[in-house]
Structure 1
Amino acid sequence: MRIKQISVSKLFGMFDHVIPLNLNEHMTIVHGPNGFGKTAMLRVLHSLFSSRIDVIKTYPFQQFQVIFEDNSLLKIAKVIDKEGKLGRIETFLFTYTNEEGENIYKPFHQKLSIRAEDVMRYIPPRVIEREIPEISRNGVNKWSDIETGELLDIQAVLDRWGYRIVRLLPSSTKSNMLDFEPPWFDELSNKVRVRFIDTNRLQNKPSSHRVSEYESRNREPVPMILTISKKIASAIQKELSNFARFSQALDRTFPQRLLESKKQSVQKLNNEELNARLEELEKKRLRFMNAGLLDMDETTDFQIPLKFDSTQRKILSLYVQDNEEKLKVLDKIAAQIEAFSNIINGLFTYKEISCNREIGISLKNRNGDPLELEMLSSGEQHEIVLMYELLFNIEPGSLVLIDEPEISLHIAWQQEFLANLGEIIQLSSFDILIATHSPAIASSRWDLTVDLEGNIEC
């Protein structure tokens, strides 16, 4: 489900912004001075579809709207409930309507008045940990946000994720505490995939496995560039395992399928077709070898005969069809690695990267001498992290929010950024919304730009 437009009224009490997304080009650039709310709008949008109401609460606005491709509308309005038991309570009114303005789903209030003492009375810490996998326990009523590493008390945990465990409370206790998301909002959120790539790209996120507070404080942070290298190696190994399993299954049944080829009507290729497809197979194998997926061997210069007899054609026809199916397993990872390497090496002048199954990313200088990845400049690392995220971590159909892609990049690299995005979008279709201060990012594509400066009402 694609998002067509987002808008906000009275952001920070001053700004009214409307951002239409360019769905044809799949890229939209939000441009404007500091303090106008570019990052705020990206964070609110991402938090909305990540059920992070706590983040939305930190940004003052009156109303936030999302219009989808089918012209349906999700509207979030902030409401101040002065009669709440805890005094002044900020709640959210959610409404989902169609293009005629008719409510498709009834509005509901999202209240944030859940209290720690009520929860701790009925729900033990082990249940909280089970229901909220994003946190790990670091002591009595102390927790760590696994994604950010932030240390939280129990009230902060409940403010962020309380809607997940309030369902477990007795009815008498949870009344007037928290109106959690109804099924229609859960269903809508599952249809909309939003990914946020923030400015803090080089800082590695904590490991997802649970650690003690002492370990968390004393563990040396691993540079993100090294983590990405390991992830690429793991991705290659995973696809090669799939390739091996599929290949073994075909090889095991090859003799039987060959003997029963008449019954199964296996396509029998003529000499010209066989030569053409055998040649394409060799080209594809060489391509996958260069991508680090297959081992280099000494048979790449094998000369294919021009003619085959009837028996040879029968055997080779099935051989060709089997190997074409085998190599299809590696098509996606090969395309990702090729685009990743081509983009990065197209930017680098005196260095070159390659990918392989053992360590992921290898780096060498122009003389062929190996270099450590940590020797890369911050700009080089930023570019690698961004390209990795976009090529390996984004599902088709997602909306990707990128905050300040120009960080640490030379102006020449900034001018190449949109062209590189276009190449990536060709491989995996998704939409991108960029917030930037840099005119060089837009380069010659100002038609993709939304200038927030023209949408201000103070």
Structure 2
Amino acid sequence: MFKIKSIEISGFWQSNRVATTTFRDDVNIIIGKNGTGKTTFMNIVHAVLAVDGDALFDNPFKSVTLTLVDGKRTRTVRAERHETKTSPYPFIEYHISNRKFVAPLVGLDDGRPTVIRRRAAEDLQRIKHELGSFVSVASLSVYRIGGDADPEVRERMVRRVASPVDLRLQSLMHRLTQYQLELSSAAREVSIKLQRDVLTSLLYAEQKDAEKGYRLDFDEATEKQNLVSAYKQLGVAGQEVSKKIQDHISAVGATIRHLQQQTAKTKGKDAAPAGRIDFSALEAFRLTRTVVAKSLDAEEKTDEIFSHVNLFLDTLKKFIGDKIFSFVGGELVVNTEGPLPLAKLSSGEKQLLILLIEALLQRQRPYIFLADEPELSLHIAWQRNIISAIRSLNSNAQIVVATHSPEIAGKFKECLLDMSDILHV
């Protein structure tokens, strides 16, 4: 997917001013005094990349030209906003490579007929589909109601007069649950394959020369632990299974000790007596070694499936050490001395969750991650580490933030872009 190399906005603030800058492909931090245009700049970048009809209507400009890169590949996206006397409403014209798209812009309180709104939504969706084929964008201004929130969730929450923070968090929690269920499904597939592989390993198969004979290296404690773990992977546990595992370990251990003793006694002679050796225990040991090997492989694959989620939980713990976050039935739950509803979290904790969940849900894919004033409500120590935390959850994201926080800006001095250098006549 493509990232922003450069941007030029003409008609900034409905004037003859132009905003232009180049971006790094990792972190970009826009700074500047109040009133210098940081939020307007971020809103326009979001509006054009997300093809957000409301934002395109509310943030006038003449044109925006984005140069996007993916390795050596380059694409240009140009959006032109038009208002004419012959048109009853403004419209946006996108030029994506060699293709042209046009859509009317209708404000939320514009009072236009439903048919006009429907047409605008359909036209914008076509543009979004085209742009989304090579650009992934996530935009967070957590104190504004995001246009990418789930419509049903937004409608329910607005009816309850919920804050924009709660609305955004609710939308992200729904997506997070879906993501966790997808991971659980993938883990079940690994478990099903393990069961199938274990069953087929019981069937006859010609052995390679290196696999013939019996291995006599045997540590009872290690083998028992491996077998218990393997059978848990297979979904088999309980006292009866534990007893059978112990009986198996004891029988194999006794046979190997007996064989080692007999071998030592007859060392240097032509053959070792084998009449009293329980070779069935050795054969069982060979089979369980196969089960353990397949189980360990399945365990590694399962750990890999959940590794990103576990990193997310570990990251939360570093920020919020007095609360325990975990997944139960696919849902993120919080505990202190007992269950704690997410609605009871502080505003700073909610904002932290919003930022980290969004980074997690990007699934380590190349994203353009826009955030206006991510420091709002965050403790100073959290501000200092939030960009690094987002980067750890998705090192492939291009992060673009506008901030007043010296704590956020301080750790990324080489990534600073001053709004006074971006905006000029």
Could you tell me the TM-score, scaled by structure 2's length? 0.70
Residue 354 to residue 33, structure 1, CA distance change in 2 (3 Å): same
Distance 2:67 2:210 in 1: 51
Identity of aligned residues (%): 18
1:408 is displaced (CA, Å) by 0.3
1:44 is displaced (CA, Å) by 3.1
Residue 89 to residue 341, structure 1, CA distance change in 2 (3 Å): closer
Which position in structure 2 is the counterpart of 1:353?
324
Q: What SS is found at the alignment partner of 1:191?
A: coil
Q: What SS is found at the alignment partner of 1:163?
A: helix
1:438 is displaced (CA, Å) by 1.4
2:80 equivalent among 53, 77, 81: 77
Distance 1:297 1:35 in 2: 66
Query: Which ranges in structure 1 are unaligned for 5 or more consecutive residues?
Result: 97-104, 115-144, 166-179
Q: What SS is found at the alignment partner of 2:374?
A: coil
2:380 equivalent among 411, 414, 424: 411
Matches within 5 A, 1:225-236: 232=176, 235-236=179-180
Equivalent residue letter for 1:432: I
1:244 is displaced (CA, Å) by 3.1
Distance 2:310 2:19 in 1: 39
Which structure carries more helix by proportion?
Answer: 2
Contact 1:195 1:400 in 2 (8 A): yes
Q: What SS is found at the alignment partner of 2:74?
A: coil
Residue 279 to residue 44, structure 1, CA distance change in 2 (3 Å): farther
1:256 equivalent among 200, 224, 229: 200
Matches within 5 A, 1:281-430: 311=283, 314-328=286-300, 330-332=302-304, 334-349=306-321, 351-358=322-329, 360-365=331-336, 368=337, 370-394=339-363, 396-426=365-395, 429-430=396-397
Which position in structure 2 is the counterpart of 1:36?
36
Which position in structure 2 is the counterpart of 1:67?
67
- Of stretches 310-319 and 188-197 in structure 1, the one that deviates more from structure 2 is 310-319
Deviations 1:256-296 (CA, angstroms, capped at 9, x unpaired): 23324437999899788999x979979999xx99xxxx999
Contact 2:52 2:147 in 1 (8 A): no
Q: What SS is found at the alignment partner of 2:40?
A: helix
Matches within 5 A, 1:133-212: 154=114, 157-158=117-118, 160-163=120-123, 187-200=130-143, 208-209=151-152
- Of stretches 310-319 and 388-397 in structure 1, the one that deviates more from structure 2 is 310-319
The two structures, once aligned, show a CA RMSD in angstroms of 4.9
Which position in structure 2 is the counterpart of 1:243?
187
Could you tell me the TM-score, scaled by structure 1's length? 0.65
Distance 1:326 1:197 in 2: 37
Q: Which has the larger radius of gyration?
A: 2
Residue 237 to residue 420, structure 1, CA distance change in 2 (3 Å): same
Distance 1:113 1:412 in 2: 42
Contact 2:79 2:92 in 1 (8 A): no
Residue 436 to residue 155, structure 1, CA distance change in 2 (3 Å): farther
Equivalent residue letter for 1:94: H
Distance 1:72 1:412 in 2: 39
Distance 1:310 1:322 in 2: 19
Contact 1:31 1:451 in 2 (8 A): yes
